[in-house]
């Protein structure tokens, strides 16, 4: 399911060795007869790249450009009461950005997702790592079953997951609340100070299995000789995990963490779905929800565009910041 984006298979680094200018050097230095082949190759390459490039421009570059354009303009209205008059777009400079940054609710939303990320991401990654190590350990049983079972929630779209969990959270409907109540405990999953963690629970439920799978695929790539050697040196299962496996899956850990950071900043579906059920989720609960509300409730597309750009910038800064922190360049960093 492409339904969510808290992680993505690591494929990036294979391509490094094939630099396109190699061929140009080649052509310049060798005899010209090869150029025809080269030209044909270039044409073929162009034909292969073109569809991607066209879609990339249409679906990726153009929307971003449009968002930036929108964020720098505003609507001016004339006519009595603003009704029935003409409206036109005028350049607004950074006014929309200033407006967004002066909006407490928008900033609070940022604070909220950062708090969410600081708590939930380490928790989820740790859990995913633990599950991956368990399933890849020598004594594991029923591996295919457990692997599918843990991965299954990822196949449930975020909206559906939120609806399902919503039923488990809403008092009066939820069996969990009822059971807790019969034990004399009063739990409210949707209260002001719990609702964020209820959402964290949904996200963790959904994405732990996915991240686990990414980690497992990296674990599978570890050559068996290493384990053998370690065992001969007297390492037990814990030593293997601690000193061999975890260091070797570090790239996958970095990757899943970066995707989780981005996914966290873009939290939307869960609060959006739970909002009608919880009197504690406001329209700016997450920055993304705030941008949505600006665009589609208040019909202020320009401000929403500015907020979207800001959100993207923060995601950039945090992702690259994290990569810098762990001392590793990302795959897409333009080298």
Using CB under 8 A as the binding rule, the residues of this chain from 171 to 210 that contact other proteins are 171-173, 192
Using CB under 8 A as the binding rule, the residues of this chain from 8 to 67 that contact other proteins are 8-12, 55, 58-60, 62-67
Residue with tokens 């044409």: 43
- 252: how many CB neighbours lie within 10 A of its CB? 23
The answer to whether the CB of 138 falls within 8 A of the CB of 237 is yes
Minimum distance between the CB of residue 249 and other proteins, rounded to whole angstroms? 15
Minimum distance between the CB of residue 226 and other proteins, rounded to whole angstroms? 24
Q: Name the residue nearer to other proteins (CB basis): 85 or 181.
A: 85
Q: Name the residue nearer to other proteins (CB basis): 43 or 77.
A: 77
Minimum distance between the CB of residue 163 and other proteins, rounded to whole angstroms? 10
The answer to whether the CB of 195 falls within 8 A of the CB of 274 is yes
Q: Name the residue nearer to other proteins (CB basis): 240 or 310.
A: 310
The answer to whether the CB of 256 falls within 8 A of the CB of 7 is yes
Is residue 110 involved in binding other proteins (CB under 8 A)? no
Q: Name the residue nearer to other proteins (CB basis): 190 or 241.
A: 190
**From the centroid of its chain, how far is CA 248?**
23
> Considering CB under 8 A, how many residues would be counted as binding other proteins?
95
Q: Which of 42, 114, 127, 157 binds other proteins (CB under 8 A)?
A: 157
Helix (H/G/I), strand (E/B), else coil: 301: helix
Residues 6+ apart with CB under 8 A from 72: 91, 92, 93, 94, 96
Q: Which stretch binds other proteins (CB under 8 A): 124-132, 151-159, 217-225, 241-249?
A: 151-159
Q: Which stretch binds other proteins (CB under 8 A): 19-27, 130-138, 169-177, 215-223?
A: 169-177
- Distance (Å, whole) CA 236 – CA 240: 6
- Distance (Å, whole) CA 129 – CA 190: 29
Q: Which of 186, 233, 299, 327 binds other proteins (CB under 8 A)?
A: 299
The CA-atom distances, in angstroms, between 23 and each of 27, 52, 135 are 6, 22, 45
Q: Name the residue nearer to other proteins (CB basis): 106 or 150.
A: 106
**From the centroid of its chain, how far is CA 143?**
27
- Distance (Å, whole) CA 277 – CA 270: 11
Q: Map residues 229-268 to x or -, x wherever contact with other proteins holds by CB under 8 A.
A: --------------------------x--xx--xx--xxx
């Amino acid at each position: 399911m492409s339904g969510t984006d808290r992680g993505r298979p690591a494929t990036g680094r294979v391509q490094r060795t094939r630099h396109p200018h190699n061929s140009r050097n080649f052509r310049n230095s060798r005899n010209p007869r090869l150029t025809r082949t080269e030209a044909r190759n270039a044409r073929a390459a162009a034909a292969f790249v073109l569809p991607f490039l066209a879609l990339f421009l249409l679906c990726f570059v153009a929307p971003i450009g449009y968002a930036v354009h929108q964020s720098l303009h505003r609507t001016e209205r004339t006519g009595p009461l603003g009704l029935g008059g003409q409206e036109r777009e005028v350049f607004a400079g950074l006014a929309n950005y200033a407006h967004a940054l002066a909006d407490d609710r928008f900033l609070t939303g940022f604070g909220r997702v950062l708090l969410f990320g600081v708590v939930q991401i380490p928790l989820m990654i740790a859990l995913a790592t633990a599950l991956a190590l368990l399933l890849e350990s020598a004594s594991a049983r029923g591996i295919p079953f457990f692997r599918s079972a843990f991965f299954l929630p990822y196949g449930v779209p975020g909206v559906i997951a939120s609806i399902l969990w919503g039923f488990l959270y809403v008092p009066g409907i939820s069996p969990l609340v009822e059971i807790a109540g019969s034990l004399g405990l009063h739990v409210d999953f949707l209260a002001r100070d719990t609702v964020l963690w209820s959402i964290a629970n949904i996200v963790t439920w959904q994405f732990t299995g996915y991240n686990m799978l990414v980690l497992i695929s990296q674990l599978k790539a570890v050559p068996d000789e290493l384990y053998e050697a370690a065992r001969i040196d007297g390492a037990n299962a814990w030593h293997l995990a601690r000193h061999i496996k975890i260091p070797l899956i570090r790239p996958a850990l970095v990757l899943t963490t970066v995707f989780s950071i981005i996914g966290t900043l873009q939290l939307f579906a869960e609060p959006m779905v739970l909002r009608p059920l919880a009197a504690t989720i406001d329209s700016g609960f997450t920055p993304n929800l705030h941008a949505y509300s600006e665009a589609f409730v208040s019909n202020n597309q320009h401000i929403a565009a500015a907020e979207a750009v800001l959100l993207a910038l923060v995601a950039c800064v945090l992702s690259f910041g994290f990569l810098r922190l762990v001392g590793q360049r990302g795959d897409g960093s333009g080298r």
